[in-house]
Amino acid sequence: MEESFTTPLAPREPFREERWRLVGPTGKPVICTVEEVGTGYEVRVGYSSDEVLYTRHLTNIDGARAFADEARPMLMEKLGLTD
């Protein structure tokens, strides 16, 4: 019997996309990203990946992108963010 060898696929970086960037009440930039997680996509808003102010889980990329864009005005008001 002939052996078959396949080249393993290189690990890929999880999907991450910046949707918008605003300024928080402290003057620091607040960034909204859509990130791939094990169970779908997460919209994250925060000063950094360690200082998250808001997060929302969605199951598909289109829904996550739409939510990030639609939530911008609400989060600007709620969190006191500016352009």
- 13 versus 1: which is more confidently predicted? 13
The whole-number pLDDT of residue 83 equals: 92
- What pLDDT band is residue 82 in, cutting at 50, 70 and 90? very high
29-74: per-residue pLDDT in tens?
999 999 999 999 999 999 988 899 999 999 999 999 999 999 999 9
- What pLDDT band is residue 2 in, cutting at 50, 70 and 90? low
Q: For the beta carbon of residue 46, count every other beta carbon within 10 angstroms.
A: 18
Alpha-carbon span 39 to 57, nearest angstrom: 9
Kind and range of the H or E run holding 67: helix 61-79
The whole-number pLDDT of residue 66 equals: 98
